[in-house]
Amino acid sequence: MKAFAALFTAIDQSTKTTVKTAALAEYFRTAPDDDRLWTVALFSGRRPKRAVTTTQLREWAAERAGLPLWLLEESYPIVGDLAETIALILPPNEHTSDRPLSAWLGDLLNYPSLDIEARKVRILDAWNRLDATERFLFNKLITGGFRIGVSRKLMTRALAQATGQDEAAMALRLMGDWTPQTTTWQRLVAAPEPEEDDSRPYPFYLAYQLESAPQTLGPAQDWLAEWKWDGIRGQLILRGGAHHVWSRGEELMSDRFPELAAATDFLPEGLVFDGEIVAWDGRQPLPFNTLQQRIGRKSVPKKLLRDAPVVMLAYDLLEDGQDLRDTPLHARRARLETLLAGLPPEANIRPSPRIPFETWEDLAQTRNMARDHRAEGVMLKRLDAPYLAGRKKGDWWKWKLDPLCVDAVMIYAQQGHGRRANLFTDFTFAAWNGNELVPFTKAYSGLTDAEFAKITAWVRRNTLQRFGPVRQVKPELVFEIAFEGIQPSPRHKSGLSLRFPRMARWRHDKPAQEANTLDDLREMLALYG
């Protein structure tokens, strides 16, 4: 754990990517195999599940520190991180430990088999053997919230440097359904030929938002355009007589979308498709909230299969008996369209249609109709581009529609976390329903730190009531709320929910009485829901 804590300190004390990469690479060269494997797992999102509740941790920490629980609760919003708050209030450790990271994580994996009192004894003993930085990391691991500002891409680059391997090949090795319990450092990283895994996906290629006019990209005939669908990005893998469905977040979702198994009845083995999984009405995608009902489920009941059937709209072919990622897009796309041509609807996979256009002006007019197609905008892909890994500028761009906007009144405020722990940044907004303000969304991003500081000062002067960390404020401030979609929601008093809401600007020029109404939002729902 000491070596891992030293790595964290080196990463935390620098904002330079080169410094972080060098620290990680040195760790990967020198740490024991089991610790290296766990570090790769942690930085690629394979964290242990939460071993105890945060309520239990707070109570045990306050008891160990000899402090009233209310004082810890008051300190937490100021520090902005529970793991750090606990590490700060605990008394100095009475003992030390040289146990490696893998041993501590092995203990955490066994916690669910212990009763609560046994877990408490283990955690108190750990706090007594770890220094402040080690405790902070241990607390992060206990709560299942381990994130310390290192991207997967940066970790992969450092790992490639430490092992002398190609970065793209390393990124592919780290994909798939592995954990430190199911593999070893040798098999995953060090072996020249890793075990073949029929379910292994490819690293996803990600697009940047187009910020300038598309004319800056060069001749229109060099580009393919298609709709940017509002679904779940995924890869459908047909290998070994089975199908596997992976999300962009590297989550295996085959059981959630059993309809896609039908592709094995109509297509040969050795294919990997990249595309969008959407709920489908037989003609076009259904609203995203229809699909959203299936996202968090491990199994899908018959009613949902009937009410929210899915298809994959495939827009790339990554494998056809061999890796096609270095093949130009125009060739990959032609092969994809040949494979999927004439498949019956029950195959549940179809090519995402190209958008025909001759000039950028033509495409701009078509893009304005994206919401009619239940899309968020268009995607632009250079026809001669390979399929790369991660987010790269140049060949793939998303040209989204301008967001929908309404003006709303702030009625509740809550402090943020981390570096914004001393500022009010999380707000609840309301629209008018007659003479009543009805809350309809929350937002916490879109403004500058300077604006948040001014709002914080205003909130402290204009608080009406407190409900724990939440303050009810005078209904005076108006903000323009931007969002990507609107849908009905029986769980909310307004009957509505917004997709990706954020604050576009603070409307100093508008009094609260001129904010939008629920009727305005319902009209938007009728048009765009």
**249-300 tens-digit pLDDT:** 888 888 889 999 999 999 999 999 999 999 998 888 988 878 887 877 767 8
Contact yes or no for 42/140 (Cβ under 8 A): no
The pTM of the whole model exceeds 0.85? no
Per-residue pLDDT at 522 exceeds 70: yes
Mean pLDDT of 487-491: 84
* Lowest mean pLDDT segment, chosen from 43-47, 93-97, 273-277, 411-415: 43-47
Whether the CB-CB separation of 160 and 167 falls below 8 Å is answered with yes
Q: pLDDT-based confidence at 418, cuts 50/70/90?
A: low
Q: Kindly report, residue by residue over 103-141, the tens digit of the pLDDT.
A: 999 988 888 889 999 999 999 999 999 999 999 999 888
CATH hierarchy code of domain 404-528? 2.40.50.140
Rounded Cα gap, residues 411 and 376, in angstroms: 30
What sign does the CA torsion over 54, 55, 60, 61 have? positive
Query: CB under 8 Å to 210, separation ≥6 — which residues?
Result: 380, 397, 398, 399
Arithmetic mean of pLDDT, 484-509: 89
CA 458 to chain CA centroid, nearest Å: 33
Determine if residue 481 is left, alpha or beta; phi over 0 gives left, psi from -120 to 50 gives alpha, anything else beta. beta
Per-residue pLDDT at 396: 96
Cite the active site residues: 228
Altogether, the residues listed in the chain come to a count of 529
CB 86 within 8 A of CB 135: yes
Q: What is the DSSP string of 233-264?
A: EEEEEEETTEEEEEETTS-B-GGG-GGGGGGG
Provide the pLDDT for residue 193: 53
Judge contact between 229 and 355, C-beta under 8 A.
Answer: no
CA–CA distance, 520 with 47 (Å, rounded to integer):
44
Pick the CATH number of 205-400 from 3.30.470.30, 1.10.3720.10, 3.90.1150.10, 3.90.226.10: 3.30.470.30
> Which is nearest to 234 in space by CA: 318, 178, 171, 301?
318
DSSP-derived letter for residue 189 is: I
Cβ(236)–Cβ(273) below 8 Å: yes
State the CB neighbour count (10 A cutoff) for residue 161: 18
Question: Do β-strands 390-391 and 205-206 pair in parallel, antiparallel, or remain unpaired?
Answer: parallel
Residue-range domain boundaries for the chain: 2-143, 205-400, 404-528
User: What is the reported pLDDT for 499?
Assistant: 86
Q: Provide, rounded to the nearest whole percent, the portion of the chain with pLDDT above 70.
A: 98
Tell me which CATH code domain 2-143 carries. Answer: 1.10.3260.10
